């Protein structure tokens, strides 16, 4: 089990004692997210959100947060979708927070708990499992609300479909839907939409605390914590999205997958696949503007998995329900991000209303 632990300046001393208390235990990995001193004031929100995002993102199993009362950390962490933070003041409450609520983040108050009680709470919370049963129905209702609030829904097997309804994305999507939009504008707008989408998709990247010397003083700041990323466009239309993604994450490694759709069977045919050598270590963004039948995307994901890739997100401009079903039937672990989920496919396999053939419109070959 991997545990992330963080505190503000008020919780620093207790956090250090908890780290010492847990380190060296068999089967337990502890990562300290800071802060690293009680002498410099820092905002509990920064630590709570970073630990919360990492737990929700699956980079750790659980998190422990410490501040003066535990309340600020609890409130802040619970703003992160997928975090279920519980402030606990004795071992009985700690046990119930796991048994009944399946809490994945524990918050503690250094000013209101003595060291002995704090360690009892931590040990009980880590050792207690979720009971399930009638409590599953209640926790699932929380998850359902989170998905509706975030414009995302689950396929019932693990993968999510996330729809970006940001006004800028929807405005630019209208531009590329218009059949009269010229090639130059179409190409530029596709890249802009890709940038806006990846900005949101990377929201949960883990951060680490660093020291920075400003022109005025030294301070604490944050940097991306060494997360390895890969961008893999499906040729050729996916190339239109690549520039927009790389504008925001220029250090990502790039792969390419060549597939075309047989005009008779609509089945994908592979003609090229070149991926980074360390693809198994990277979070992978698979780019394809149109998720129509889903065959090409599902085949591309299979190619990546055969070469060791594990954490894959499919990023598309427009999707059809048929394509979503095909991808999630083959790969229920893959999250799908789209700017719009349209009505259906027509008899030729095109998305309705869609925008036509994205590759032809990007490269001017229609």
Question: What is the rounded CA–CA span in Å between residue 366 and residue 359?
Answer: 9
Comparing CA positions, the residue from 93, 69, 85 lying closest to residue 7 is 69
Question: What is the rounded CA–CA span in Å between residue 183 and residue 103?
Answer: 51
Q: Residue 42 burial by CB count (10 A; 0-12/13-18/19+): exposed, middle or buried?
A: buried
DSSP code at position 285:
E
Catalytic residue, candidates 21, 135, 166, 256: 135
Containing 211, the helix (H) or strand (E) segment is strand 207-213
Looking up tokens 């524990």, which residue turns up? Answer: 106
Q: Is 202 in the active site?
A: no
Q: Is 165 in the active site?
A: no
Comparing CA positions, the residue from 200, 225, 195 lying closest to residue 210 is 225
Question: What is the rounded CA–CA span in Å between residue 364 and residue 242?
Answer: 17
Looking up tokens 């699932």, which residue turns up? Answer: 140
Q: Is 100 in the active site?
A: yes
Q: Are 334 and 304 in contact (CB under 8 A)?
A: no
3-state secondary structure of 31: strand
Catalytic residue, candidates 8, 46, 59, 204: 8
Q: Is 42 in the active site?
A: no
> How many degrees, rounded to 5, is the angle at CA 249 between CA 243 and CA 250?
70
Catalytic residue, candidates 100, 117, 256, 357: 100
Beta-carbon contacts of residue 194 (< 8 Å; ≥ 6 apart): 240, 241, 242, 243, 244, 245, 287, 315, 317
Q: Are 165 and 134 in contact (CB under 8 A)?
A: no
Catalytic residue, candidates 42, 67, 88, 316: 67
Q: Is 35 in the active site?
A: no
Question: What is the rounded CA–CA span in Å between residue 118 and residue 112?
Answer: 10
Catalytic (active-site) positions: 8, 67, 69, 100, 135
């Amino acid at each position: 089990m991997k545990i992330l632990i963080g505190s503000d300046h008020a919780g620093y001393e207790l956090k250090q004692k908890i780290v010492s208390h847990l380190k060296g235990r068999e089967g337990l990995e502890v990562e300290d997210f800071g802060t690293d001193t009680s002498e410099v004031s820092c905002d509990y929100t920064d630590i709570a959100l970073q630990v919360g995002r990492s737990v929700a993102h699956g980079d750790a199993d659980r998190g422990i947060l410490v501040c003066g009362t535990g309340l600020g950390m609890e409130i802040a962490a619970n703003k992160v979708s997928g975090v279920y933070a519980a402030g606990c003041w004795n071992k009985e409450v700690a046990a119930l927070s796991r048994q009944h609520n399946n809490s994945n983040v524990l918050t503690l108050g250094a000013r209101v708990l003595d060291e002995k009680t704090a360690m009892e709470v931590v040990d009980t919370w880590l050792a207690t499992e979720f009971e399930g049963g009638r409590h599953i129905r209640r926790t699932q209702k929380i998850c359902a609300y989170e998905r509706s609030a975030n414009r995302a829904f689950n396929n019932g097997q693990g993968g999510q479909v996330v729809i970006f309804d940001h006004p800028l994305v929807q405005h630019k999507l209208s531009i590329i839907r218009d059949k009269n939009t010229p090639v130059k504008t179409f190409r530029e707008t596709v890249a802009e939409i890709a940038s806006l989408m990846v900005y949101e998709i990377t929201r949960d990247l883990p951060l680490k605390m660093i020291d920075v010397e400003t022109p005025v003083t030294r301070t604490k700041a944050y940097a991306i914590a060494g997360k390895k990323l890969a961008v893999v466009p499906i040729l050729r239309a996916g190339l239109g999205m690549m520039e927009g993604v790389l504008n925001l994450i220029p250090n990502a490694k790039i792969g390419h997958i060549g597939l075309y759709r047989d005009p008779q069977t609509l089945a994908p045919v592979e003609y090229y696949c070149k991926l980074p050598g360390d693809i198994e270590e990277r979070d992978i963004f698979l780019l394809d503007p149109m998720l129509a039948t889903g065959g090409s995307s599902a085949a591309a994901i299979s190619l990546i998995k055969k070469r060791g890739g594990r954490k894959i997100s499919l990023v598309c401009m427009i999707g059809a329900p048929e394509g979503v079903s095909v991808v999630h039937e083959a790969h229920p672990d893959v999250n799908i991000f789209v700017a719009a989920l349209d009505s259906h496919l027509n008899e030729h396999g095109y998305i309705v209303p869609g925008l036509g053939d994205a590759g032809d419109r990007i490269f001017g070959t229609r």
